[in-house]
Amino acid sequence: MSRKPKKGYYVQGQFVAEGSELDLELKRELKGGTDDASRTELKHESTELQKLGADLLDLRSALFERLNLPEKLADAVLEARRITNFEGKRRQMQFIGKLMRKQEDTTLAAIRAALEEQHRGSASDTLSLHQAETWRDQLINDEDTLDAWLRAYPATDVQQLRTLIRQARKDAKAGKPGEAPRQGRAYREVFQLVREHLSGIPAPEPEAGPDTTNLS
């Protein structure tokens, strides 16, 4: 007959059985010195580590490999990415949570830093897309925006950009009355040209010009 597993928790990778001398000592050391305070703090730590483990599944491959995680944890994360069954995924995430509670503080700090680096990169990409969309729309809808663009990016092929803008305006006019303006190939190519020039170069968004939704 199998022995019933002891109840307890992990602190910095060490298992602490409930009711043990170490358990009581840890509870006394916590601020307030009450069992309720101890349980609340430990539960909060466990929840945070569980979420940190779940976030590892979405970490980009380059950042994940750079972490050089312990083999058991790395394999568990890779396996979780492959599992599609809901119950199987849930059990695997519980296992990852247990492994996370055994990790050294340095490993946890490295994981948090990698996730933060990915978040900063995603925010930067979103801003770049927004800037490119704003410039594209202003270039197509406002005649004065082209001069502002050329002052900011004088290396632009002016003839190519003018041609794309004219074609994008023609495509927009070709739509039926009452319908949204058509967005053809030129519309997409203006965006691509703008993205290429904005890439890696911080630039202000164009000032909003007059409402030229109804192109003439």
pLDDT per residue, tens digit, the chain (216 aa), is 445 556 777 776 677 777 777 777 766 666 454 455 566 777 778 888 889 999 999 888 888 888 889 999 999 999 999 998 999 999 999 999 999 988 888 899 999 888 888 887 666 567 778 888 889 999 999 988 999 999 888 889 999 999 999 999 888 876 666 565 667 888 889 988 988 888 744 444 555 554 444 444
Alpha carbon dihedral 161, 167, 173, 176, in 10-degree steps, equals: -130
pTM for the full model? 0.43
| Architecture category of domain 123-198 in CATH | Orthogonal Bundle (1.10)
Q: What is the pLDDT of residues 142-178, one digit of tens each?
A: 988 999 999 888 889 999 999 999 999 888 876 666 5
Q: Which pLDDT score, from 0 to 100, does residue 128 have?
A: 75
16 and 8 Cβ atoms separated by less than 8 Å: yes
Q: Pick left, alpha or beta for residue 123 (phi over 0 → left; psi -120 to 50 → alpha; otherwise beta).
A: alpha
**For the chain, what are the domain ranges?**
8-103, 123-198
Size (the chain), residues: 216
